[in-house]
Structure 1
Amino acid sequence: MNDTTGQGYRAALERLRSAQKPSAGTPLYSRLVNRPLGRRFAALTYTWGWTPNRVTAVSAVFTFSGIALAALVPTAWWLGLVISALLVLGYALDSADGQLARLRGGGSVQGEWLDHTVDAAKVLTIHSAILIAAYRFFDLPPVWLLVPVVYLVVDSLLYFAMMERDLLLARAAGGKAPASEASTSILRAILILPSDYGLFCLVFVLFGFPPVFFVVYTLMLVSNTAFLLMALVKWYRQLGTPVQ
């Protein structure tokens, strides 16, 4: 990195530090690791002249490469490390595209749609890949195949309900959703950690050890199911409250 590029990177990083999204409702990994890492990628790609959509595309390449490896490559001790690294990089770049858009003066409706579409595809394919791997490569009782099926339903419903809530709140408020009233405390960020996609990426380190991976994966499913049920009740009540 030459002096000019380095100066541009540092200036962009400083601008992003003072223009971060609120941390309300953000789980611990996303708050303390993914956003700061994404901020650095955003500043770097800004100096390269990249567009947010290009960052989204590169993020998708990393993410779906990891997902493809999970579905297609026989289990080995190193496989989980590679998959986890690809997913972590993909998630950091997923954070970077929005931050890059802010650096460039604001995003576009197309970019937001693309980002959400990639996220939806990720939710649908990552549990499908685990199901395929469990069927092809894991020596587990068939009943375990129900775990990724149920997880796929839970994650898909959570994603749809959250996006629909934001859309309806924004429409009720005349186009812009009201600020989140969720707590910004570290304790809450820890309590909702099982719902953090970043933690899910790290769990793939265990992918080369199927029994261990599936125990942790199942515990995360239980936690996310409980989180979904509580969130649905909260959002239903929230949508019934007039927007001020």
Structure 2
Amino acid sequence: MDSYRQLAAAQKGRGRGAPAYSLYVNRPVGRILAAWAHTIGLTPNQVTAISAALSIAAIAALAVVPASVWLGVVAWLLLALGYAFDSADGQVARLRGGGSPAGEWLDHVIDSFKNVALPLAVVIGWYRFVALPSMIWLLVPMVMATATTVQFFAMILNDLLRARQGVAQAVEMGGSSVTRSLLGLPTDYGVVCLSFLLWGFEGAFVVVFTLLTLAEVGYLCLALPTWFGRMKQL
């Protein structure tokens, strides 16, 4: 309980427009996991390793196990827990007095792996186990993999270049707009994880995943010119 109270009083600032699931669900769950991990003596890197193991297990299962309702539930649970532990590693680092460049590097490498591997697991699962009306639908998760990778790299590069110029990251210590958070839900990794509850309902999942992909592409088309404009101002 002491660890949990310390974390509640030392949360990092909210990113401007952070999606609602990440903000209101994943971070609080991660806080509970971080308090537990700190209590039993886990290091931030060990928490990151747990996050990676859970995510990899889900991604592998989607690629090699025939699609079913129960697999969708298991995949969602593993992905959601992996995402929560991904939030917990940084919180454990704060409890221990701060993180390290190596820990931050490891966290970002795992995140970049998930951005590519999860949509590609969908490609494999659809190709092997789902009766798609046309193979052209396999392009949908490929587009998702491309869009999420570009977004992640651009966001990391934004922070890197801003820091190099001595410009603080854009955070809102008092909280982000609820409206902006809700509008960002379709691009939230947690919502993508949640969509796998439909993995056993093939037609519904194809529709929902396609809509999430369109939302991700739409967000990226709006964000990239804005970010480029900010880089020109540095």
Query: Is the structural similarity TM-score above 0.5?
Result: yes
1:106 to 98, 106, 114: 98
1:198 aligns with 190
Q: TM-score, normalised by structure 2?
A: 0.95
2:78 aligns with 86
What per-residue deviation string (whole Å, max 9, x for no partner) do you get for residues 84-122 of structure 1? 000000000000000000000000000000000000111
1:53 aligns with 45
**Cα distance in 2, alignment partners of residues 39 and 241 from structure 1:** 36
Partner amino acid, structure 2, of 1:115: D
2:139 equivalent to 1:143: no
Residue aligned with 1:78, SS: helix
The number of residue pairs the alignment matches comes to 231
Unmatched segments (≥5 aa) in structure 1:
1-9
Q: How does 1:43-192 map to 2 (within 5 A)?
A: 43-140=35-132, 141-173=134-166, 177-180=168-171, 184-192=176-184
**Cα distance in 1, alignment partners of residues 129 and 227 from structure 2:** 39
Shift of 1:214: 0.7
What per-residue deviation string (whole Å, max 9, x for no partner) do you get for residues 34-81 of structure 1? 000000100111010110000000111101100111000001121100
**Cα distance in 2, alignment partners of residues 178 and 90 from structure 1:** 26
Higher relative contact order (CA 8 A, sep 6+): 2
Unmatched segments (≥5 aa) in structure 2:
none
Question: Cα–Cα, structure 1 residues 181 and 21, in superposed 2: closer, same or farther, change >3 Å?
Answer: closer
Across the aligned residues of Structure 1 and Structure 2, the Cα RMSD in angstroms comes to: 1.4
8 Å contact kept, 2:13–2:172: no
* Aligned-residue identity in percent: 47
**Cα distance in 1, alignment partners of residues 171 and 67 from structure 2:** 42
Q: Displaced runs of 4+ in structure 1, greater than 2 A?
A: 176-183
8 Å contact kept, 2:115–2:149: yes
Shift of 1:25: 2.4
**Cα distance in 1, alignment partners of residues 172 and 36 from structure 2:** 32
Shift of 1:200: 0.7
2:13 to 5, 9, 22: 22
**Cα distance in 2, alignment partners of residues 180 and 47 from structure 1:** 29
**Cα distance in 1, alignment partners of residues 205 and 52 from structure 2:** 24
8 Å contact kept, 1:56–1:115: yes
Residue aligned with 2:69, SS: coil
